[in-house]
Amino acid sequence: MTVVSGRLKHVMVRNRTPGVTLAPDPASVVDTLHGRPVPDPYRWLESADSPETLRWLEERAREYEREASGWPLRERLAARIRALVATDLWSTPVHRPGAVFATLRPSGGEHPRLVVLPDGPADGTSLDSPTAAPRTVYDPCEEDPAGRTTLDAWEPNPDGTLVALQTSTGGVEHGRLRVVRVADGSPLGPVVPRVRYSHVAWLPADERSFFYVRRDGDQGVRGVWLRRVSDGAETLVHACTGPGTVPGVKVLGGRWLLVTESHGTGHRTDLWLADLTAGSPRRPNLRPLQVGHEAETEVRHGPDGLLYLRTTLDAPRRRVCVAHPERPEPEHWREVIAEDAGATLDAFCPQPGADGAGTTVLVVRTRLGISEATVHDAVSGALRYRVEPPGEGMVSTPVRAPDGSVYLGYADVSTQQRVLRLAPGEHVPTPWPSHGDQAVPSPRVERTVVWCRSQDGTRVPVTVFDVSTRSGPGPLLLHAYGGFGRPRQFGFSATVLAWLLSGGRYAVAHVRGGGDAGRRWHLDGSGRDKPRAVQDLVAAADHLVETGWCTRDRLCLSGGSAGGLLVLAAATARPDLCAAVIASAPLADMARFERMGLGRMWTREFGSAADPDDFTALMSYSPYHRALESARRTPGLSHPRVLLTGFAGDTRTDAAHPRKMCAALLAAGRYEQGHAPALLRYERDVGHGPRSVSRAVALAADAHAFAAHRTGLTGC
């Protein structure tokens, strides 16, 4: 690859609209990649805190507020969303001797806090008794009343006296890993700095040491480390085998150390296993469980002492196999639950059978966004019975308790996330805790699946939601993600429900690149085939218009992160496609995505600009470069109005993407009656991940008030 850059000039010029400072000299930077000139006139916006960028952001903020103040539904949507999220929100519980840990975001609270409840009859109190009030172990709002700090992960030690906490501030997701005493929340031992969503696995034989992972090179050697709580002494037990892998660690059954490396999200997993009773935990004898296979595999430990593996090995939609931990290699695996040709196997949990009769496996499959849960015999794989969730929605995060029960998360489009308990042999799960605020009245939402044909003839499903009985076209939000093999699952979104209750329709295009139809569906829309995901979305939008669900001027595309890339690519490819686009924290500059945020870890998903064939594919849909080309060839062309959101603390996609994309769209489009062709809603002290409820509500309300304004939605 040859790269030749022109000299970077910070020369500000004026846009066609008087008084609007827009961009530097368009000839300021030109790279030559594989013999092709690639202009990059807004590279100066990659410098987040330069005086030029800060002045430019101030102008965008003023422009945004001028326009947002005129959106009629802005305040009403915010009020409705706040009302919809005003419920207690629990996580699935984790049991330890005499105690149960969970997070609770109380109604009206800004962040989830870690709480502990008594478990069992040790103190004469039942977990589900109204007298079993939760006791707070850690509350991020107490540490940071400004609400900038989030609790990212937590793991109690085996006896439940200590808990490892991971927190971060300002959205940067480079946080602190610390250990606190459960009794009083006091710290124990030194803090581990700059930890990004590390797995933590406590050493069972010594409850004052734990394994954790270093994912970033600036922490030292990437891999799995064993750390002593008291003084922070550490030992490297496994170094990552490649520069683009993500390490993981678990302790299974109190005995088996499982080390994993993911090669690109959703592409491949390597796994090693060691017996912690056979030697020093500082030098575990890690044996390959699955290494070198192009498969994604998750391992759980069964109550029978066997390993249960959910895998895409020889099963694109996943199957469940079983193996003995002494013979864990794939040639010794035995298939228990076969692949389903029409649904992806997204979650599973081995549990004891009713009355202790053998082992069963709870399996959760997703069929076009809707979960199906079944229980199977662990020996024959035969179906024992079907689980009956509360409705058509998403079943998630199954966790087995010591008594053999499984706790599940459940939500649907109109039902806030709740926790359910499924005892061995039961067909119908019950709410957990049995007291407290678990649900609010849910409106009836109609779900319809339609099919469109993409450019290459592939049939692509589109799910449409509506609460209205009206016929004919209306305002419609079309969402897509199409990345990393992740299926679209229909859980709860207060924003979506508020949109539906206001008279809009909401649709999801199950495009290739996602995991809606298994591993093959993912691979067919990734790497050099990523343009297929864009073509699928375009086909979905065209089909919804042609079949009367909406009209062009009442259609808004919506996507975040990899989905933001997708909707921007579709809109820049087809300027006539829709009226508006919401792109939240998107990727946009695909020539330089590897140099920003975590882009270097995503070359399995998108390809690399260093490879000439990958580069050709990247440039065929890169939204930033399409907008630049439009500005060069046909300045002032009418494009869909675009709302971009960017977050200064975003260490995943990097806020340089929406900054540069906004500048390119402003140059390509035209101001109509003073309205900008693109708006940037930019926030500081937040990042790509979780945020306080009030900030999440404000962001969601603004985005959908923009969509309402552009599509003519007036009710609320």
Phi, psi of 694 (to 5 degrees): -65, -40
* Together in a domain, 493 and 570: yes
Q: Is the pLDDT score of 124 beyond 60? A: no
Q: What angle do CA 679, 683, 686 make, to 5 degrees?
A: 140
* Together in a domain, 321 and 405: yes
CA distance 555 to 574: 13
For residue 424, give the CATH number of its domain: 2.130.10.120
What ranges in 636-692 are assigned the alpha helix state H?
Answer: 656-668
Q: Where does the pLDDT of residue 354 fall: very low under 50, low under 70, confident under 90, or very high at 90 and above?
A: confident
Digit-coded pLDDT (tens) for 14-30: 344 433 444 455 447 99
* Together in a domain, 522 and 568: yes
Question: At which of 418, 436, 454 does a domain end?
Answer: 436
CA distance 10 to 578: 35
| Closest C-alpha among 693, 683, 695, 688 to residue 174 | 688
* Together in a domain, 371 and 480: no
Span 387-394, average pLDDT: 94
pLDDT of the residue at 434: 74
CA distance 644 to 433: 40
CA distance 354 to 248: 33
Least confident of 4-13, 33-42, 200-209, 569-578: 4-13
Question: At which of 414, 436, 458 does a domain end?
Answer: 436
| Closest C-alpha among 579, 562, 559, 583 to residue 646 | 583
The number of residues in the chain equals: 716
**Within-domain flag for 114:** no
Least confident of 82-86, 132-136, 705-709: 132-136
* Together in a domain, 477 and 555: yes
**Within-domain flag for 192:** no
pLDDT of the residue at 18: 36
**Within-domain flag for 87:** no
* Together in a domain, 645 and 689: yes
* Together in a domain, 564 and 659: yes
Residues 6+ apart with CB under 8 A from 204: 158, 251, 254, 255, 276
* Together in a domain, 412 and 479: no
CA distance 17 to 4: 33
DSSP 308-343: EEEE-TT-TT-EEEEEBTTB-SGGG-EEEEPPPTTS
Q: Is the pLDDT score of 616 beyond 50? A: yes
pLDDT of the residue at 267: 82
Question: At which of 394, 418, 436 does a domain end?
Answer: 436
Q: Where does the pLDDT of residue 470 fall: very low under 50, low under 70, confident under 90, or very high at 90 and above?
A: confident
For residue 499, give the CATH number of its domain: 3.40.50.1820
pLDDT of the residue at 284: 96
Residues 6+ apart with CB under 8 A from 397: 91, 92, 347, 408, 409
Q: Is the pLDDT score of 666 beyond 70? A: yes
CA distance 356 to 256: 24
Which one-letter amino acid corresponds to residue 349?
A: C
| Closest C-alpha among 78, 30, 102, 109 to residue 692 | 109
* Together in a domain, 483 and 604: yes
CA distance 270 to 260: 6
* Together in a domain, 419 and 565: no
Helix (H) or strand (E) segment spanning residue 223: strand 223-228
Digit-coded pLDDT (tens) for 42-53: 999 999 999 999
Q: Which residue has the higher pLDDT, 102 or 436?
A: 102
Q: Which residue has the higher pLDDT, 690 or 577?
A: 577
Please, how many CA atoms are within 13 Å of residue 366, restricted to the half-sphere of its CB? 25
**Within-domain flag for 675:** yes
Digit-coded pLDDT (tens) for 439-457: 555 788 999 999 999 999 9
Q: Is the pLDDT score of 706 beyond 80? A: yes
pLDDT of the residue at 709: 97
Least confident of 112-121, 270-279, 282-291, 569-578: 112-121
**Within-domain flag for 182:** no
User: What is the rounded (10 degree) CA torsion for 187, 188, 189, 194?
Assistant: -40
CA distance 643 to 578: 13
Q: Is the pLDDT score of 122 beyond 50? A: no
| Closest C-alpha among 660, 649, 594 to residue 626 | 660
Q: Where does the pLDDT of residue 319 fall: very low under 50, low under 70, confident under 90, or very high at 90 and above?
A: very high
pTM: predicted TM-score of the whole model, two decimal places:
0.92
What does R_g of the chain's alpha carbons equal in angstroms?
A: 26
pLDDT of the residue at 716: 59
Span 563-571, average pLDDT: 98
Provide the domain count of the chain.
2
Digit-coded pLDDT (tens) for 195-247: 988 999 999 877 799 999 998 866 679 999 999 999 999 999 999 998 889 99
Q: In this structure, are residues 145 and 137 in contact, taking their beta carbons and an 8 Å threshold?
A: no
In sequence order, what E strands does 573-669 have? 580-584, 641-647
Q: In this structure, are residues 102 and 136 in contact, taking their beta carbons and an 8 Å threshold?
A: no
Span 590-604, average pLDDT: 95
Span 281-295, average pLDDT: 95
Q: Which two tokens stand for residue 176?
A: 């602190």
How crowded is residue 11: how many other Cβ atoms within 10 Å of its Cβ? 13
Average pLDDT of the residues of the chain: 91
Q: In this structure, are residues 538 and 574 in contact, taking their beta carbons and an 8 Å threshold?
A: yes
Percent of the chain with pLDDT over 70: 93
Q: In this structure, are residues 313 and 295 in contact, taking their beta carbons and an 8 Å threshold?
A: yes
**DSSP state for residue 71 in the 8-state scheme:** -
Domain that holds residue 678: 13-82+470-711
**Within-domain flag for 273:** no
Helix (H) or strand (E) segment spanning residue 530: helix 530-546
pLDDT of the residue at 635: 80
* Together in a domain, 343 and 484: no
Digit-coded pLDDT (tens) for 125-176: 344 443 468 999 999 999 999 999 999 999 999 999 999 999 999 988 889 9
CA distance 532 to 509: 13
* Together in a domain, 523 and 605: yes
**Within-domain flag for 462:** no
pLDDT of the residue at 8: 35
**Within-domain flag for 75:** yes
Span 501-524, average pLDDT: 96
Residues 6+ apart with CB under 8 A from 106: 88
Q: Is the pLDDT score of 541 beyond 70? A: yes
